[in-house]
Amino acid sequence: MKAVIRLALCAITTAATISAVAADRGVLFNGANRAIFPDMPYNQSDRMYDADLETGRITEFNPHAIGAPAGFRPQAISKSGFLLATSGSQLLACDPEKKKTVTVYKARPDVLLGDLAYNTTDGAVLIECLEKDKNGRITQGAPIEKGKPESSLSPLLYVPQDTDKAGFVFCRRVPSVDGFAFAPDGTLYFSHRGDVWAGTIESNDFGDGERNPMPWVLAAERVAPVAILETYVGTPYATGADEVTAGGDRLYIHSRRMGGSGMGDLYSIHRKPANGDQTQDVASYARAAAETLGSLTYIQEYTKPPYLATSPDGRNVFWVVSRTSDSGEKSMEATIVNTADESSRTLILRRD
């Protein structure tokens, strides 16, 4: 089994670059003419659709047709055609040409794996950790010690190319990590409490030589304070970044109501890496934040959460939103943006 796992990782790493976003709203986009995405959230369906972005034709995605198990929900695609997905406590890789699926990594049975992102610079996979309580409620964060729910929680699991070194990530002062994605240069972007952060996953070498249950650490800082917060009585209108993806020299952000309806916006800002200067003063931080916010380009408003993804090379950005006509007819509208010149094309996706 170990040989199979290493072979799968080697094939993915040497022949592929992968882009992924959140598992519950995950979109798989190859950067050209194909996207796979779940049914719209309001339909409360487990269906996934395979879209031809040249014709706008969509068909229902069938995992059995590519040799994948039931419930296989791909979140990433490689240049060589590998599909990555999480299922329960496993990270899976599927070769649709050979119709074969292998287990790349298996976490503890009590740890559920969710969202994933792939780092093209070193072949590592970052995965969201989830836990299901006795009432069936699923929350982000899993105990780092099996059978010890009172132990520290980690929201992330890091699987490097050498899967023997996989482990939980120490996320100091950041208890939740949402909408995360790696840029082609290896920078990790994510949202936390509505703001956008940037950083890296680094080795946690602060141990005393004994086994470290969190051998990796999230080294990041807030780079874009985009959350709108309030405490008014009534329906909340606070909004913040929910999904973040890197395309070219910009970040594309899906912002939505926090604690309220799914209404929100799509916009982009200039992409900046983490400063890394722990001595910077408030004036320099304010100038950097003002520069980033000043680069904001508004794209569109939506009433239902969209799906958002970037091509593996960062050259194209894709999103799909739900539309309802005046007559009540529902449809899905896809947009593909070329990040080099900001040109875009839009098409209506239609089922057979």
Q: Please report the pLDDT score of residue 210 as a whole number.
A: 63
How many domains does the chain fold into? Answer: 1
Other beta carbons less than 10 A from residue 153's beta carbon: 18
Q: Tell me the CATH number at 278.
A: 2.120.10.30
Q: Which amino acid is at 38?
A: P
Closest residue by Cα to residue 242 from 74, 44, 22, 19: 22
Cα dihedral across residues 2, 5, 6, 7: positive or negative: positive
d(CA 107, CA 320): 32
Tens digit of each residue's pLDDT (9 = 90 or more) over 130-151: 988 778 888 898 888 876 666 6
Widest CA span of the chain, in angstroms? 67
Predicted TM-score (pTM) of this structure: 0.86
Q: What's the helix, strand, coil split of the chain in %, to 5? A: 10, 45, 45
d(CA 47, CA 150): 36
d(CA 207, CA 218): 15
Residue ranges of the chain whose pLDDT lies below 50: 1-25
Q: Please report the pLDDT score of residue 240 as a whole number.
A: 93
Paired residues of 307 in beta bridges: 320
Q: 167-170 and 216-224: which strand pairing?
A: parallel
Q: Domain range holding 15?
A: 2-351
Tens digit of each residue's pLDDT (9 = 90 or more) over 210-245: 667 899 999 999 999 999 988 888 777 889 999 999
